[in-house]
Structure 1
């Protein structure tokens, strides 16, 4: 296996933004990233093709091991270079502490379904098997993509443990499951796409030359059993990870009704889904995320057979996608820290109580802070504390990993100090800033 390695400042070049539909207005500051390109997660098929390559973008800061976001750019299954554009996604999520992997899979001209799902699952297995090398958290894998990349996202998220979709490519014997996903305007039930087209028209999805027919290897209306196997809805059950999906109501290429079908299926199975339906938006990420639509989108959420429907309750922004992913990965979405000290000459005991103020549980936590003075931790309890310079990292001790919504965990330490002993300016829990309670 050969991989090219470089260290660079990743920015949102306009050409890349256009490729993945990321508006420049959403661009964060440039961020130092270590990048590994063209990693072969399985042998090329056919020889010389790019469908079994991935790129990996690692943030230079933040806690380790890192959560991983897998990205695949859609192409109507016509390209074997779906990893292209992942650098723009990394520019958004690396500063938030996420590693990002851009993954390519084979095109429909190189192999028909289920090859594409075999490929993404092979890539996930490779990433999990090599998590230690790249300091990835094997228990916190998320996936995201648009169009056929959204379909791949939904298939990977909903079909964990389905033997027929695993394949034997590359690394085996490792889980291919992901813990959450975000999909943009994905096709689902190919057989209903023509009937759901806009009144003004759309693609002829029933044509033998349609992207869907080329994917499954037959005109879709002539092979319904094969088409059913390529339908994410086939694999929905109540144990699936949380899935967010977004669709424009004016989508000319993939009918909006495709996501309606998926949402209704997940709701019927008492699954966990958030569906953002955007009026006036076509088949482009910038249109689905256009601030002009904020407040008018319909947001439907179903969890444990309980549904809520609102208008404008979640705006489709990268920040809100990150919050959703953090909740699905059980990292926490908001927190409070209460800090107290007991001081004596030259030393002190410190305690920090972490409260989960979000709505999702936290499994596994790391609390970080920076000293303003020369404090040096010498001992700890209810956590494992390490210190490098003024940077302190406190991790759960293995017996107190869970913090439910509204619940708390505490930790303590002894430290030496001379001079100032100011309260740390900020605490971060799993890389998100916490509110400090006096």
Structure 2
């Protein structure tokens, strides 16, 4: 079939629509945070009456202080000045885990061309860091996340630390705009190669004067390669960058999957720290990237210290795994201990598992997993919902015991059958974190 390029007018509409639904269809309705402060002006409106210099702040009701911070910006193909939309859904997930969430809006490409959008996100980060003490935030633990053009903004903020030309003079100055970790969904990374990477069935005409990328730069991208290079996240990669996790669908019609391949290869060549999750059959939507039907099928490439590991299905795109990655990048001291005890009689036994949070971050919602080495089969359980598939066991909190503060513990119990050996499981994980086993 001959490849086809969509007309630019249709492209803009489709890009905007799909980017807009990428988040809202993925999350549950937002839960109430302890405090929500909306429409904070991190800089004067420009132009007057616009929304591109506003942020919303969601402060959690649980967790230790000062709180780690997660910035969010929704993609729109750079057509919207209301990118903080959708941060309530992010807060619904991360506030219970002790994160403060900041939804940030930046100016649209119709209001200001690049590098204004990068100046804006850095200004928002500077404002939050300058006001961290007021809101009990940790200025040394800033994470950023976004999808599509929001993913591009995430990668620009994560990779361009210390680049003076991208700081700008918007809002608060004289404060660091650095972040410590980034997580991006299906971001463009090299504008000039996008058309060549389109799917065989076609794609967007990114070279058109009316394409989202051309409108962002203020010129047809192929006519201004120097400006395009300045807008490419790849340009700023070096070995000192914070860790970055990025995800892309292999069937992405709007931003070619090859864009993330290029970025990963550049980070690997620079001996950087990155994880790239490539999801088959997923298009340009988070609901498809995170579809459980794809679990176990994704290719995961990780590079750090000039080494690389490649696996299939080794990192499912789940919020639990994303949280683990962000906490690791923020050096939040995740750790846990498990005490395992049994009472045995002929052909059956009772077991108890006690989980202790030895880290500095509160846990709200937990799952403990382990694998039997024999033919043990759980029959009943209490203080947890337990499922078993083959030798694999997952015990999820029962609701009333979902919170484990730093230094605190929760326990679960079960009855099971067993014949032959009944060894203690070799490893326990709490929310995908390997726990230290201590004697009963």
Aligned length: 347
Gaps in structure 1 of 5+ consecutive residues: 1-16, 339-352, 357-364, 369-390, 396-422
Task: State the distance in 1 between where 2:141 and 2:338 align.
Answer: 24
Going from structure 1 to structure 2, the CA distance change for 1:194 and 1:392 (only over 3 Å counts) comes to closer
Task: State the distance in 2 between where 1:18 and 1:209 align.
Answer: 19
Going from structure 1 to structure 2, the CA distance change for 1:435 and 1:90 (only over 3 Å counts) comes to farther
CA contact (8 A) 2:335 2:357 kept: no
Per-residue deviation, 1:32: 3.8
Deviations 1:248-303 (A, max 9, x none): 00000000000000000000000000000000000000011111111110000000
Task: State the distance in 1 between where 2:104 and 2:74 align.
Answer: 9
Per-residue deviation, 1:337: 7.8
TM-score calculated relative to the size of structure 1? 0.74
The residue correspondences of 1:21-420 to structure 2 (distance < 5 A) are 21-23=23-25, 27=28, 30-336=31-337, 365=360
- 3-state DSSP class of the match of 2:203? coil
Per-residue deviation, 1:163: 0.2
Per-residue deviation, 1:319: 1.0
Task: State the distance in 2 between where 1:367 and 1:211 align.
Answer: 41
Task: State the distance in 2 between where 1:94 and 1:211 align.
Answer: 33
- The equivalent residue for 1:349 is none
Task: State the distance in 1 between where 2:279 and 2:131 align.
Answer: 38
Task: State the distance in 1 between where 2:256 and 2:159 align.
Answer: 21
CA contact (8 A) 2:129 2:139 kept: yes
Deviations 1:278-332 (A, max 9, x none): 0000000001111111111000000000100000000001111111000000113
- The equivalent residue for 2:415 is none
Gaps in structure 2 of 5+ consecutive residues: 1-18, 340-355, 364-402, 412-429
Task: State the distance in 2 between where 1:63 and 1:232 align.
Answer: 34
- 3-state DSSP class of the match of 2:51? coil
- 3-state DSSP class of the match of 2:228? helix
Question: Which structure is higher in RCO with an 8 Å CA cutoff and minimum separation 6?
Answer: 2
User: Which 4+ residue blocks in structure 1 deviate beyond 2 angstroms?
Assistant: 17-24, 26-33, 332-338, 353-356, 365-368, 391-395, 423-426, 432-438
Task: State the distance in 2 between where 1:42 and 1:29 align.
Answer: 27
TM-score calculated relative to the size of structure 2? 0.74
RMSD value over aligned CA atoms? 2.7
